[in-house]
Amino acid sequence: MKRISLHLLFWVAYVIQDALLEYLWLGPALKNIPENIQLLKAFEAAIVILIPKLLFTYYVIYFAIDRILAEKNKLFLIAAEILFFLLVTILLYRILFNYYVYPKIYAGIIKTRPVFDGRLILLALMDIGFVSGAAISFKLLRKQLTGKEREKGLIKEKLEAELKFLRTQTNPHFLFNTLNNIYGLARVKSDHTPDAVMKLSKLLRFMIYESKKEFIHIGDEIKMLEDYIELEKIRYNDRLNISFNKEIDDLTQPVTPLLLLPLVENAFKHGAGESRFNSFIHIYMQLADGKFNFEIENSKENGIIDEATDNIGLGNLKRQLELLYKEHRLDINNGQNIFRVILNINLDKHAKV
Q: Euclidean distance between the first and final Cα of the chain, in Å?
A: 30
Nearest to 221 by CA among 195, 196, 244, 198: 244
Distance (Å, whole) CA 3 – CA 33: 39
β-pair type (291-299, 279-288): antiparallel
Instruction: Report CA-CA distances (Å) from 200 to 173, 178, 203, 204, 241.
Output: 14, 8, 5, 6, 21
Reported in sequence order, the residue ranges of 138-277 that DSSP labels E, i.e. its strands, are 216-217, 240-248, 254-255
Least confident stretch, 86-95, 107-116, 222-231, 293-302 = 107-116
Q: Residue 351's pLDDT is what?
A: 63
Q: What is the pLDDT of residues 264-276, one digit of tens each?
A: 888 887 776 666 6
What's the average model confidence in pLDDT over 325-343? 88
For the cut 50, the answer to whether the pLDDT of residue 309 exceeds it is no
Burial class (CB within 10 angstroms; exposed 0-12, middle 13-18, buried 19+) of 91: middle
Q: Rg for the chain (alpha carbons), in Å? A: 37
Q: Helix, strand, coil shares of the chain as percentages rounded to 5?
A: 70, 15, 20
Q: Residue 168's pLDDT is what?
A: 59
Is-contact 229 242, C-beta < 8 A?
yes
Q: Residue 189's pLDDT is what?
A: 72
Residues facing 340 on adjacent strands? 297, 333
Q: Please tell me which residue, 298 or 274, carries the higher pLDDT value.
A: 298
Is-contact 82 142, C-beta < 8 A?
no
Distance (Å, whole) CA 241 – CA 199: 20
Is-contact 78 65, C-beta < 8 A?
no
Top-confidence range, 167-181, 270-284, 332-346: 332-346
What's the average model confidence in pLDDT over 312-338? 83
Nearest to 173 by CA among 276, 39, 263: 263
Residues 6+ apart with CB under 8 A from 57: 131, 132, 135, 136
What's the average model confidence in pLDDT over 163-191? 67
Band (pLDDT 50/70/90 cuts) for residue 31 is confident
Q: Which long-range contacts (CB under 8 A, 24 or more apart) does 40-46 make?
A: 41/105, 41/106, 43/15, 43/19, 44/105, 45/19, 45/101, 45/105, 45/106, 46/15, 46/18, 46/19, 46/22
What's the average model confidence in pLDDT over 248-270? 87
Question: With pLDDT > 70 as the criterion, what percentage of the chain qualifies?
Answer: 85
Class of domain 152-349 as given by CATH? alpha beta
Nearest to 257 by CA among 310, 298, 296, 208: 208
Nearest to 259 by CA among 332, 330, 197, 335: 330
Cα 268 to chain centroid, rounded: 37
Distance (Å, whole) CA 95 – CA 115: 6
The segment(s) of the chain belonging to CATH 3.30.565.10 are 152-349
